[in-house]
Every structure is written in C-alpha cells, then in structure tokens.
C-alpha cells in the first residue's frame, strides 16, 4: 500500500480535506498518514487537533509552531520553524505522496520540505487568486512545487496550466468543501443555538474577517465593519475569530470588546468546526466578511455573502456575492441589500460556480488509477508552443 501523507494546519483546510481523508482510509491501495501543524496545535486558536482525534483519525506527526507573535517577523519565523519540523516529520514517515490544500504559510513550508526531500505533492485548490493576501504568491509557489493538481473550477484548471503545468496532470474536480454540505447531518436551530450558547434573533448574520496581509490597516478595517454593524441593532451576530495571519490580534480584541458590550445580540467562537459552521449557514440570513467560504460554500445555502475589501479580490464568485469596499457606509449598504427580500429571493436561484459535490471521490479515483510518480522531475508546459490551449 502506498503511503499518502495529508498535511493540515487549520480548522478550515481540515474541514475541506475530511472526506478525502476518509476516502484514503477506505481505499485498498493507500495508507493514510496525517501531519498536524499550525493553528491546530495552539490553545489560543482552539486546539482543534482534538477534533481530528475525536473524528477517529490517527495523527502520525505533530509539527508545532510559535503563533503568539502575529507580526511579519513572527510569521516569517514560524514559517521557518515549520519547514524544519515538516522536514523531520517527512524524513521519518517517508510517504510516497504529500497532499496539500490551499495557500497558507505552513502549507508553503510543507511543500518546500517535501520538494527538497524529493516527495511528489498533490495540491488542491491551485489556480485561484486572492490579490489582497500574500497567500496569492504562496498558492502559485505551491503549484510550481506540486506534481498533481486538483482544481475547483475549469478557470482555475486553465490557470495552473498557464503556470507551466502539464495538462494531463491537472484535474478539475470541483471544490472540496461542498462534500460536507450533503454528507453531514446539520444541527437543527435549537440544537445549534445550544451548541454555541446563544439565542438567535429573527434575523442573524455570521461574521468572519481575516487579516488582509498585503495591507497594514487590519485593525482600522475591522473597526469599519463594527461601525457598520452598529446600524443594525436588531440583528443577531455570530462571530468566528480570524486565522493566525499577521494582525489577527487586532481583530480578535475588537470582537471580544463588541461581544462583551452587547452579549444579548452577539457571540464569538474561536472555532465552530465544520458541523457547527455549516449548521450556522443553514440558520443565518447572510454572511459578512472576507472568508473564502463566503464565495465557495455559502452559495449552496441560498443566502447572500457580503465580501469586504481585497482579501478575496480576483477569486471566482457567483451572483449571491456582494462585493464592497471596507468603509462603514458601503458595508451597511451591502448588508441591507443582502437582507432585502428581493435579493434573498434572487440568491435562492443562484448557481454555485464551484460545481457540485463529489470532489473527494473524483480525486481518489484519479489517484487510484494514476501511478504515483517516483520523481518530482517535470517539464514546463509552454503555451506558446501549444497555441490550441492559449
């Protein structure tokens, strides 16, 4: 059996990889290895590695990082620590394939270590763009270090090929997160409210805002969001806290102050986990912030997304997404639109540009039929020499 090592560093990428990991477990051809790192191992971010353990998975190795310093120097140092830790873990586990998803700095560190060790990489969600974050560069760098590619849309498949990857190694399988929506038994309203310790109102929104890492005014941006939310005293608000990117403390502290001042209308959680997060989407009336889930998973629930600022700029989005600048009056206007009966009726019919469920099964079927590469050597696919694909 071939050893496939899945790397996860956050609650988000684990949720997206969950069903793929289950497919590996049930395959007669593969043995699952799991390396857990990043926010999973931080008490400050909810110690979400416990969820992986509670789900019945065996964690092969842990690669801890220092995430207490959210400055550029602190994150750069954590990336270096991660590279060292992943190198040691891969040297011990010796997998035939490393699986990475997305664009975070710990994924970049894992890709760097695997590439230097000569271990082929399969990368999910390449070819996407997020112009407001350094994740944009990280994602494309991981693409160039990877051998197999599983994209979430045809447009992204073409971008990966444009980066010089051979077309026969680039597969459009759809968005991984959509599998959870149909496979998980979501919580009813009463059970969900009990699980988060909050009584929802007639109308409610879910707010998730991550640092925009190529901009230096994270705290000011989030203050604009809170200012906009002050215009809607009737709304119930569920906050999920930001990831470990530079500037996350400025957001978390403002969330804590807001909730402390208005506990009757707002609640905050470091991590909801996939079940409670997707359950929240089935009960709220709109999503506000700059999380990729607002563009990928939320459209499946027939509610609108207010996507704020530049973090997701350039990412594929459908008609259920309202894009706005990070100013309080524009955010207020966008929230009003998202909650309006006319818009709500429209978004229930909107198509999700990320396709349909089944990405995990499509991906594992490809891996089972594909001879795992014995080398990381690959030739550059030049579009100028292959005009039919340009």
- 268's enclosing H/E stretch is strand 266-269
Specify whether 167 is located in the same domain as 220: no
Domain harbouring 373, CATH code: 3.40.50.2000
Compute the distance between CA of residue 317 and CA of residue 333 in angstroms, rounded to an integer. 19
Specify whether 264 is located in the same domain as 148: no
User: pLDDT band at 48, cuts 50/70/90?
Assistant: confident
DSSP 381: -
- What DSSP assignment string belongs to 310-373? STTTT----TTEEEE-SSHHHHHHHHHHHHSHHHHHHHTTPPPTT--S-HHHHHHHHHHHSPPP
* CA dist list (Å): 199 to 8, 19, 228, 235, 335: 33, 31, 22, 12, 21
Closest CA to 234 of 262, 202, 208, 210: 202
Q: What is the mean pLDDT of residues 204-213?
A: 94
Specify whether 274 is located in the same domain as 317: yes
Specify whether 197 is located in the same domain as 147: no
Convert the pLDDT of each residue in 146-176 to its tens digit: 999 999 999 999 999 999 999 999 999 999 9
Total number of domains constituting the chain: 2
Residue 165 is predicted with a pLDDT of 97
Q: Higher-confidence residue: 45 or 80? A: 80
pTM across the whole model: 0.88
């Amino acid at each position: 059996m071939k050893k496939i090592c899945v790397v996860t560093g956050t609650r988000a990428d684990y949720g997206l990889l969950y069903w793929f990991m289950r497919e590996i477990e049930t395959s007669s051809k593969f043995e699952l290895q799991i390396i857990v790192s990043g926010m999973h191992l931080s008490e400050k971010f909810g110690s979400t590695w416990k969820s992986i353990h509670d789900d019945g998975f065996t964690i092969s190795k842990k690669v801890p990082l220092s995430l207490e310093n959210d400055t550029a120097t602190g994150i750069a140092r954590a990336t270096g620590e991660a590279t060292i830790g992943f190198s040691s873990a891969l040297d011990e586990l010796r997998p035939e394939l490393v699986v990475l998803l997305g664009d975070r700095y710990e994924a970049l560190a894992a890709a760097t270590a695997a590439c230097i060790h000569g271990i082929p990489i399969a990368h999910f969600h390449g070819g996407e763009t997020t112009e407001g974050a350094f994740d944009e560069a990280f994602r494309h760098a991981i693409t160039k270090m990877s051998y197999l590619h599983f994209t979430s849309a045809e447009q992204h498949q073409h971008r990966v090929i444009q980066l010089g990857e051979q077309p026969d190694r680039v597969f459009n399988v759809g968005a991984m997160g959509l599998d959870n929506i149909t496979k998980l038994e979501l919580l009813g309203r009463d059970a969900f409210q009990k699980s988060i310790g909050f009584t929802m109102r007639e109308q409610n929104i879910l707010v998730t805002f991550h640092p925009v890492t190529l901009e230096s005014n994270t705290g000011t941006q989030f203050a604009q969001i809170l200012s906009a939310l002050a215009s809607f005293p009737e709304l119930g608000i569920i906050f999920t806290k930001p990831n470990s990117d530079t500037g996350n403390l400025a957001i978390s502290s403002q969330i804590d102050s807001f909730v402390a001042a208005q506990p009757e209308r707002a609640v905050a959680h470091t991590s909801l986990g996939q079940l409670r997060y997707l359950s929240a989407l089935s009960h709220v009336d709109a999503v506000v912030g700059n999380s990729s889930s607002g563009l990928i998973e939320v459209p499946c629930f027939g509610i609108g997304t207010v996507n704020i600022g530049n973090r997701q700029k350039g990412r594929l989005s459908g008609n259920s997404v309202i894009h706005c600048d990070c100013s309080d009056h524009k955010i207020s206007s966008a929230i009003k639109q998202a909650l309006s009966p006319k818009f709500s009726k429209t978004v229930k019919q909107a198509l999700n540009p990320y396709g349909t469920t089944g990405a995990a099964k499509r991906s594992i079927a490809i891996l089972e039929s594909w001879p795992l590469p014995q080398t990381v050597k690959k030739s550059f696919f030049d579009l100028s020499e292959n005009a039919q694909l340009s």
